[in-house]
Structure 1
Amino acid sequence: MTKLRVAFDDTSSYLTRASWRPIVSGPLAEIWEAESGSSLRLMVPKIESAPDYQHMLQSMTLELARFEGRQPEQVRDDIARQFLDITKLRAASADLIGDTIPLHAGIALFDSAKRLVTAAAASTLMRQGNFGRNMPRRAINHAKHVRLGHTIQGSYIVPIISEVRVPDVYSVDEGIDSQPRLDLKVEEARFDRRVTTTMAHALEVLEEIAVTRDRVPSAADVHDAVAEGVSRELCDAVFQVLSTGQVDSYDIDFQWAPAVTPPRLLTESIDFPKGAVHVVGEIAAVLRTSERVEEQIIFGIITNCAAPLGEGMGRVTVQAAIGGRARTVRFDLDWKSFALASRYMAERRPVFVRGVLHMPSGRQATMEVSAFGPDPSTMTLDEALEGPGPDVVLRELPPPRDGSIEP
């Protein structure tokens, strides 16, 4: 595993999750003890810029590793990834010699990493079968700041690393109204997790129609997959590795940050065998000529839910980060979806909305909604304790009928 930076927040998160607690706190370090009643005490350094920080961190890791009966490197890696989502791209090949891979396949794997991230970032902003020259600038820029780790021994694995230090719910302003608050910096930080969530879901859908099914996907199947985040660019990223002829399978594993509530109902591993290369290529060809869709996706906090008399639907207002600014967007929902929106507002929960966005100059922004639900990149603590439940991620709503949207 790549040697990652370890901050005090990482260490305190790991120890808390492992049932340790601080008993003495000072400006430079803290002393922690195990809740199990062990006599062991750990000196945990706090200031990374201190000259003895690394030495103290190493000593603490050695003691903790002995206590857990594990290797120090394993413990340090687990501490370091508390707030990191790690996506592992693995090219399995019979041509592997030691930890090496054929040059052509290796170049394809690294280029695929960039393509996957860019495609997922674009589909996080809007749903489109083929972006082509219309690739959003934000998606291109996002791929520039995502980190790659060193290849991992044992297999040819390239890790994509994203930092996710974000809360599960929105904070509330102090005062009488106690209104949820949209923080643009937090929204920017959430984007990394949302992109990885989109990637995982889209690849899962692509695997289902290209590998799992016992029939070739129809045009309708491919069209439906676009609504779930599949694009020609995403397919090309997978096809590029498989088409080298030097890879037996292309596996993508997702390790979600232990300290941040993971996305709900997403598989942790996706596998594209080399036999899927032709189907993936055919799907990409269909998407290359697909009609351009003007649906956008916004993420934000619900600030108002109103039920106008006699209109047969509920009106919802969301505050979202659009183009680097906080904007309010208003839209209508059927009563069942409106009830969910009311609940999410009370929970201060992030939501997503997909549809046609109208932003006339100087007037209220509105949206014709085709999908609405909780932000698929997060779930609440209660849901985590409940375990698997109904899949509401990217739930489709049919087109309006009689002025309302039915789930």
Structure 2
Amino acid sequence: MTESRWRAPASDPVVGSGAFMHAAASHLLQLYLQRTGWTADPPGPAGALWRHGGDAAIAIPHDLTPTATEWRGVVERLARFERRAPRDVETSVEFHLTDVTRLRAANDIVIRGSIPLEAGVSLVSSAWSMLRASATTAVRPRGHIAGGFSRQADALVEQARLGHTQEGSYVIPVLMPLTPPAAEGAERPAVPGLELERLAHEPPERRVMRTFAQALAAVDRVIVAPERTPSAGDLQAAVVAGASREMVMALHRVLSDDAVSEFAAAFSWAGGVMAPAGVPSSVRLPAAAASRLQQAAQQLKASSYTPDEIVTGPIVEVRHEPENPFGEISVQTVRRGRQTEVRVRLRAEQLLETFDWARDGRSVVCEGRVRRMPGRPLMIDEPRRVQPLDETYLPTPPAAAGS
């Protein structure tokens, strides 16, 4: 069979997604305009005039809806300014605060883009199981959830929507609306000479979808791709990335169907929130991997690995005082079911590299004892490791012969 090279285009619309039915289109349009460099004049009784430097101006009526005649005119003027197709601009606005993961089950004989009903039901059911498992491991990594799903995580999964399949292949879009990023708080009193960089926080829904993508990538790199049985250390790295026995078993169910030759997932990140770095744009798993997934699931159940001194998430602050040999980063994470920040003490020479990770939107993993003091931030004083999360699940190559 010829190898599939499927990749969802960035502008590929979700047919009949209905995302505008669940978010105010006018508000999304304003957020999109702000992000792309437009500014609004003081509003009048009918609307506001938005300007892009001295190059262009567009009048935006109040409470604009996608069904209004004015909506088409606004989209077409934006499309001319951006030199893009109107449908592409409309899709960018519609999914400005929605992550989309496209799941695909392919078989050798595709008839008008269909697959057997049983395989389709398995894909939808397994998609829900994988997303639910990822949401729980986004709160607290663990190799075997064993029914202990997080209620907080389940509430986030309930926000996910199912789009229509796309013509030409059996693709199911999973839509996750994001909480709009909060505005940064007021500036704190300056410390003379203090170097302080604050970055935007990651919405909780994005953490779920990022964990979903990283867990699939870890399963591919640790379990499927290597020509050997993964070691306990390899599986632990996959668990830190968000993989779990429950996710692996859900993948196994899809790939065990005789009608399915491969499972693929492609990720499109909402334009209104910085896309995570270090996450693949797509993951593809062949049906031949089913037996390896089953074996890995048994290993995960037996190990029940739960990292208690692991903190994962994006860096939201880098701080350093002049002449101080140490500085700190703040990692946005979840502890005891709550969003929080954990500060990590690092040598000054390490800070430049971590700032590059923060600027690029690359999540990190920090390992060490988390210290709690009344009225003080959570702190890791002596981290055993700090590295990009995507580097942790690269499997260790086997030792060379004679070494």
Are 2:255 and 1:242 equivalent residues in the alignment?
yes
Residue 378 (structure 1) aligns with: none
Q: Identify the match of residue 163 of structure 1 among 157, 172, 177.
A: 177
Deviations 1:205-262 (A, max 9, x none): 2112334333343343223322322211221221121111211111100001123221
Q: Identify the match of residue 95 of structure 2 among 62, 68, 81.
A: 81
Aligned partners of 1:70, 1:336: CA distance in 2, in Å? 44
TM-score of the two chains, using structure 2 as the length reference: 0.71
Aligned-pair CA distance for 1:203:
1.1
Aligned partners of 2:145, 2:384: CA distance in 1, in Å? 20
Q: Identify the match of residue 158 of structure 2 among 129, 141, 144.
A: 144
Aligned partners of 1:318, 1:225: CA distance in 2, in Å? 23
Residue 251 (structure 1) aligns with: 264
Residue 19 (structure 2) aligns with: 4
One-letter amino acid of the counterpart of residue 11, structure 1: L
Q: Using a 3 Å threshold, how does the CA distance of structure 1 residues 15 and 200 change in structure 2: closer, same or farther?
A: same
Aligned residue pair count: 365
Check whether the contact 1:170–1:181 (CA below 8 A) recurs between aligned residues: no
Aligned partners of 2:369, 2:300: CA distance in 1, in Å? 23
Gaps spanning 5+ residues in structure 1: where? 374-391, 397-407
Q: Secondary structure, in 3 states, of the residue corresponding to 1:289?
A: helix
Residue 233 (structure 1) aligns with: 246
Residue 263 (structure 1) aligns with: 276
Aligned-pair CA distance for 1:199:
1.6
One-letter amino acid of the counterpart of residue 101, structure 2: T
Residue 210 (structure 2) aligns with: 197
TM-score of the two chains, using structure 1 as the length reference: 0.71
Aligned partners of 1:314, 1:337: CA distance in 2, in Å? 9
Check whether the contact 1:93–1:247 (CA below 8 A) recurs between aligned residues: yes
Q: Using a 3 Å threshold, how does the CA distance of structure 1 residues 23 and 393 change in structure 2: closer, same or farther?
A: same
Q: Could you tell which deviates more after superposition, 189-198 or 27-36?
A: 27-36
Aligned partners of 2:278, 2:295: CA distance in 1, in Å? 28
Gaps spanning 5+ residues in structure 2: where? 1-14, 393-403
Aligned partners of 1:303, 1:68: CA distance in 2, in Å? 35
Aligned positions of 1:375-390 closer than 5 A: none
Aligned positions of 1:21-60 closer than 5 A: 25-32=43-50, 42-48=58-64, 54-60=68-74
Check whether the contact 2:105–2:170 (CA below 8 A) recurs between aligned residues: yes
Q: Using a 3 Å threshold, how does the CA distance of structure 1 residues 302 and 76 change in structure 2: closer, same or farther?
A: closer
- Percent identity between matched residues is 25
Aligned-pair CA distance for 1:327:
6.4
Q: Secondary structure, in 3 states, of the residue corresponding to 1:133?
A: coil
Q: Secondary structure, in 3 states, of the residue corresponding to 1:47?
A: coil
One-letter amino acid of the counterpart of residue 106, structure 2: A
Aligned-pair CA distance for 1:117:
1.4
Check whether the contact 2:179–2:204 (CA below 8 A) recurs between aligned residues: no
Aligned partners of 1:152, 1:222: CA distance in 2, in Å? 35
Check whether the contact 1:250–1:274 (CA below 8 A) recurs between aligned residues: yes
Q: Using a 3 Å threshold, how does the CA distance of structure 1 residues 360 and 113 change in structure 2: closer, same or farther?
A: same
Residue 399 (structure 2) aligns with: none
Check whether the contact 2:240–2:307 (CA below 8 A) recurs between aligned residues: no
Aligned partners of 2:125, 2:190: CA distance in 1, in Å? 50
